[in-house]
Amino acid sequence: MTGMLAAAVLADHADVTVVERDLLPSGPEPRKGLPQARHAHVLWSGGVKALEELLPGITEQLVARGAWRARIMTDLVSKAPSGQWFRRFNHSHHTNLLCSRDLLDAVIRARVLEDRRITLRPQTELLALQGSANRVSGVRIRAAHSEDTLTADLVIDASGRASRAPVWLRDLGLPPVLERKVDAGLVYASRTYRAPGSTADGFPIVNVQADPRQAPGKGGIIAPIEGGRWLVTLAGTRGGQPTADNDAFLAFARELPHPVIGELLAGAEPETDVVTTRSTANKRRYYERAARWPEGFAVLGDAVAGYNPVYGHGLSVSAQSVIALRRVLRRQDLGARGLARSIQKAAARPVDNAWSLAVGQDVFYPGASDQPPSRLERILAAFVDRAVDAGSRNPRALRVLLDVMSMETSPARLFMPDMVALVYLGRKKPLLDGPPLTEPERRAAVAGAPLGSVE
């Protein structure tokens, strides 16, 4: 995703080669290098906007292939980590995109590769950087058992969580960069179901969030995706992790802080076996702070930072980082001195936003971090809890909360005076005592009755 989007932007400035280890399928099919595609992926509205800015019309192309625009204030049934159910308000400002990750990638890939200025080198592995500590001049690659060198004015590493950039930089003689890891020990278990009853179109996303202060944290999501399917992901932290046992999946869903996902799945027919992943730690490399940085090289996407996926921010950061890349390239020439460092610094902004949201919660899981939560982190987390409570019961507060959660604005927005006033003084509707599914929605899932609209 990051590599393809970056290629689209770079093509306005140079001939571009995308080096990809996998043989890329022609359609929305699974592949080895993208194991996370089997788990639920939600693209928040900030990411949808960034994607649309990079590839105008792409949302429509995705929708034509079965992706679903979810108006998140209405189409989300969600239980907050601190326990309350969010009310559903009629409001269409935040529109998320829901589909399988395979479909998302296939449509983006096909669109980007239409550009003749971009060459794809599939089944080709990036092995090392070429050049010196002052300037990267290309890459060493391997394809079909033979090695080769590609020269380049700019190399972007977009190789995801397992990026070897720290080793490549060390091999050029550069000092290590600061890294941080906050690992809640979360395990994801996912399974695809045929959408039960008459829920194939317009059924809300159902989400039960884990509470970092009630370890083990357990949560789950039903993500309605293309092809009349539900992609169901369940997750648990240390001491409460799900397994790949098909027979245990439903029981785990019933043990979440609320059993609604288990209830909705009771009569649903699974289409796949359960798959699990432990690749969920928040892990960041602070390249933008490196004491020395070579010309001609930048790192983007998960290769810079991966986040606990329950917050669903990685794809949005990826698209927003590429917009940052585009902005820098429009200001500075490809050969300009300091270009690579400017890209790295600009790309760090969306990373900062997603990082503070994820780590601000996850530091509370036992054993997640070397350093226990600081006093400031505790104060901020307590305020965020209050903001979530206000958002669950007041549409204006929810709008601000969603501006932040959707990656449309920075988390600092939560602390602006109007939001603080809403949190402490705003009128709030009473707490809900259960998931705000409408009766027609429940009946649609269980008895196949037609879906009604939300009041």
Ligand X SMILES: Cc1cc2nc3c(=O)[nH]c(=O)nc-3n(C[C@H](O)[C@H](O)[C@H](O)COP(=O)(O)OP(=O)(O)OC[C@H]3O[C@@H](n4cnc5c(N)ncnc54)[C@H](O)[C@@H]3O)c2cc1C
Chain positions 34 to 63 lying near ligand X, rule: CB under 6 A, are 34, 36, 39-43
**Least Å from the CB of residue 310 to ligand X:** 8
Question: What's the rounded Cα separation, in Å, for the pair 104 and 223?
Answer: 14
Is residue 384 near ligand X by the rule CB under 6 A? no
The long-range contacts involving 424-433, CB below 8 angstroms and separated by at least 24 positions, are 424/386, 426/390, 426/394, 426/396, 426/397, 427/394, 428/389, 428/390, 428/393, 428/394, 429/87, 429/393, 429/394, 430/393, 431/84, 431/85, 431/392, 431/393, 432/84, 432/85, 432/87, 432/392, 433/85
Question: What's the rounded Cα separation, in Å, for the pair 74 and 57?
Answer: 24
Give yes or no for a contact between 393 and 87, defined as CB atoms under 8 angstroms apart. Answer: yes
Residue selected from 16, 20, 230, 397 as contacting ligand X according to rule CB under 6 A: 20
Query: For ligand X, which is the closer residue by CB, 19 or 206?
Result: 19
Residue selected from 2, 209, 276, 282 as contacting ligand X according to rule CB under 6 A: 2
Extract the tokens encoding 4: 């393809």
Name residue, tokens 């890459």.
Answer: 139
Is residue 314 near ligand X by the rule CB under 6 A? yes
Q: How far is CA 209 from CA 1, 42, 224, 257, 377, in A?
A: 26, 14, 17, 8, 20
Give yes or no for a contact between 191 and 270, defined as CB atoms under 8 angstroms apart. Answer: yes
Assign residue 197 a region: left if phi > 0, alpha if psi is -120 to 50, beta otherwise? left
**Least Å from the CB of residue 49 to ligand X:** 13
Q: Please work out the total of residues on this chain that contact ligand X, with binding judged by CB under 6 A.
A: 34
**Least Å from the CB of residue 305 to ligand X:** 9
Chain positions 281 to 310 lying near ligand X, rule: CB under 6 A, are 301-303, 309
**Contacts for 145 with CB less than 8 Å, ≥ 6 apart:** none
Q: Which stretch binds ligand X (CB under 6 A): 152-160, 255-263, 267-275, 419-427?
A: 152-160
**Least Å from the CB of residue 203 to ligand X:** 18
Query: For ligand X, which is the closer residue by CB, 161 or 442?
Result: 161
Chain positions 174 to 233 lying near ligand X, rule: CB under 6 A, are 188
Residue selected from 80, 126, 232, 351 as contacting ligand X according to rule CB under 6 A: 126
Q: Which stretch binds ligand X (CB under 6 A): 1-9, 52-60, 179-187, 208-216?
A: 1-9
**Least Å from the CB of residue 128 to ligand X:** 10
SS3 label, residue 446 = helix
Query: For ligand X, which is the closer residue by CB, 268 or 303?
Result: 303
Query: For ligand X, which is the closer residue by CB, 196 or 312?
Result: 312
Binding site for ligand X (CB under 6 A): 1-3, 19-22, 33-34, 36, 39-43, 125-126, 158-161, 188, 277, 279, 301-303, 309, 312-316, 318
